[in-house]
Structure 1
Amino acid sequence: MEHWTEYTRFITSLVVIMDPFMAIPIFLTMTKGYTPRDRARVVRIAVFTVAATLIVSALSGEGLLAFMGTSLGSFRVGGGIVLFIMALAMLQARVDPVRTTPHEEEIASGLTSIAVVPLAIPLLAGPGAMSTVVIGMQRSTAPYHEIMIVLSILLVAVVLWLVLSLAVPIGKRLGDIGLNILNRIFGLILAAIAVEVISNGIKQLFPILVS
């Protein structure tokens, strides 16, 4: 089994990548006029969808890469580029098109629809989060590693549930300026994570660089 710090690092990376604080303004806008009970239901559906999507991605990632004939190194480079694009958008305090598009926000209607698209997919469980769990699952072949990754995803889902459940008081307390500051801090951390993912992928593609 990997050292426990590897899993805390994985959890931190996943929380930063999904950035639930960035989703608060969108969540509040799309659920405007909803009762607290309806909002709570949207949160439950969204969090369940995120957890299920990431667990399926993690467990099927190796087979999917093999089916496409793609190496883990190239997937790391590609995933790192996606993360870096997301980081640049977060540093500018805006929602990047990798996460969601205006069209996806326009077609969302109804509790379930809003919770699944665009809140859960692709706003939270987008390409960046999916590539992160696939890479995380392939980091080790140690016993119980897969279980630890799944448990880590479930723990992140609990964090998402807490943040979204408290979206109204958090939004009021922080305001737009506070949320933008948090997004920029998360963006800076994500940029550093993206660079490391890309560099590890390049080293795997070109082993001569390590020697």
Structure 2
Amino acid sequence: MTLPTLLSLKPLITLLALVNPLAILPFYIHYTQSFSDEQRKRTIRAATLTVLTVLVAGALLGMQILDFFNISLASFQVGGGMLLLISALQMLNAQPAEARTTASETSYAARQASIGVVPLGIPLLTGPATMSTMVIFAERTANWVQMAQLIGYAAIVALAVYVSFMAAPRIARAMGQTGINVMTRLMGLILAALGVEVMSEGLKKIFPVLGG
């Protein structure tokens, strides 16, 4: 009996680069600076569950959503690749990859116990680029074993968010803002290369002549 081929680590590396919880630590620390220990723990649990839910929903329901809106995967790959490049450019400037909140949304969210969901979970940790990337990787899975592995990667990313936020005070002191910025830029370089690769695959499907 032939064992099914497993996925490479590329989906995990891409998702970690996109979610990049280290880059969101300053926002987490800012939003929760007046919270009690119990409130911080609830916020961390909410952010972790939000990230896991978004990633798993993208893997399991992404293609059905594309079919509903009659969008081809090739077009989605080109659009997703562009979002990855935009995220990478922001990360190269040491900005959160998925930051899309307005000042009023941030002010409102900072007063709520649900900031683990908005804006930390969505859109700071998981946004359009993360969702589209999960859909693209889900389409590449060839069997249920690979899909289960992809969902396992989502769980690892969510766990990385949990561990990073729990260790936020120690990480912030150890790395400093400069260290966090350097890590964010390194992940941005990786993400830019992955974005170009995703776009090229979509463009080859739309314009077969590009494939030689």
Q: TM-score, normalising length from structure 2?
A: 0.92
Aligned-residue offset at 1:73: 0.7
- Distance, in Å, in 2 between the alignment partners of 1:104 and 1:57 is 24
SS at match of 1:138: helix
- Distance, in Å, in 2 between the alignment partners of 1:207 and 1:16 is 30
- Distance, in Å, in 2 between the alignment partners of 1:167 and 1:38 is 15
- Distance, in Å, in 1 between the alignment partners of 2:70 and 2:36 is 48
Alignment-derived partner of residue 128 in structure 2? 127
Alignment-derived partner of residue 111 in structure 1? 113
2:206 is aligned with 1:185: no
Q: Deviations over 1:15-65 (max 9, x none)?
A: 001111110000000001222222121111110011012111211111111
Instruction: Kindly report the root-mean-square deviation, in angstroms, between the aligned alpha carbons of the 2 structures.
Output: 1.5
- Distance, in Å, in 2 between the alignment partners of 1:101 and 1:10 is 30
5+ residue gaps, structure 2: none
SS at match of 1:150: helix
Q: Deviations over 1:159-199 (max 9, x none)?
A: 11111111111011111111111111111111111111111
Counterpart AA for 2:113: L
5+ residue gaps, structure 1: none
8 Å contact from structure 1 (residues 105, 118) kept in 2: yes
Alignment-derived partner of residue 205 in structure 1? 206
Deviates more, 1:25-34 or 1:90-99: 90-99
Counterpart AA for 1:63: Q
Q: Deviations over 1:2-25 (max 9, x none)?
A: 434x2x211111000111111000
Alignment-derived partner of residue 6 in structure 2? 3
35 and 98 in structure 1: CA distance in 2 versus 1, 3 angstrom threshold: closer
Aligned-residue offset at 1:97: 6.8
Alignment-derived partner of residue 32 in structure 1? 33
Matches within 5 A, 1:47-196: 47-95=48-96, 99-108=100-109, 109-112=111-114, 114-196=115-197
8 Å contact from structure 2 (residues 92, 184) kept in 1: yes
Aligned residues with identical type, % of pairs = 37
8 Å contact from structure 2 (residues 98, 127) kept in 1: no
164 and 98 in structure 1: CA distance in 2 versus 1, 3 angstrom threshold: closer
Name the count of aligned residue pairs.
208
Q: TM-score, normalising length from structure 1?
A: 0.93
Aligned-residue offset at 1:99: 3.9
- Distance, in Å, in 2 between the alignment partners of 1:52 and 1:63 is 17
